[in-house]
Amino acid sequence: MDVLAGPGLDLVADGHALPLADKSVAAVLLMEVLEHVAEPTRLVRECARVLASGGHLCVTAPQYHITHHHPADFFRYTRQGLEALCAAAGLRVVAAWATGGALLVVFHAIELNLPPKSRIGFVALTYGLFDWLDGRLTGHGNRPGAADAKGWALLAAKP
């Protein structure tokens, strides 16, 4: 499902009013979606509405990223922000983890601001090193006491 028509889509719809029956799906995936939604609380409540009991909501969202339009870009998320959205929708957070630590934040701050041709070379030459160092030094943002992350992944369940 997406808000814009494209190949391989089963449904074009606005997530603020999902055209699905209550308790009709086992899982909802919101992969890098929430930053593009004008009313994220409303979307997460809609996801909770369509989830069957015991169903899961799987979310990934950026905390640090350049502005990117599809068709708009409204928000960035902390772990606590994602947890609060789920709690407001009556979902129980099962797990949440960082999707990259401080060194990947730095890598992406550089990479995403380079011209396209330079970006390809920069990524090819440096990503492996930044990713390795980020894992070794920051546990990809998941070490105890880590305060920041490139983004977050979260799994929530409907009671």
pLDDT tens profile 35-48: 999 999 999 999 99
Specify the pLDDT at position 84.
Answer: 98
Where do the domains of the chain lie? Answer: 15-101+141-157
Q: How much is the pLDDT for 45?
A: 98
Taking 90 as the threshold, does the pLDDT of residue 23 lie above it? yes
- Provide the pLDDT for residue 70: 75
Burial of 83 (0-12, 13-18, 19+ CB in 10 A): middle
Q: What rounded mean pLDDT belongs to the chain?
A: 94
> The whole model's pTM is what?
0.90
The CATH topology of domain 15-101+141-157 is: Rossmann fold (3.40.50)
> Picking from 66-70, 134-138, 155-159, which range would have the lowest pLDDT averaged per residue?
66-70
* Residue 68 confidence (pLDDT): 86
Q: What does DSSP assign to residue 152?
A: E
CA distances 119 to 17, 67, 105, 112, 114, Å, are 38, 17, 15, 7, 5
pLDDT greater than 90 at residue 69: no
Q: Is the pLDDT of residue 17 over 80?
A: yes
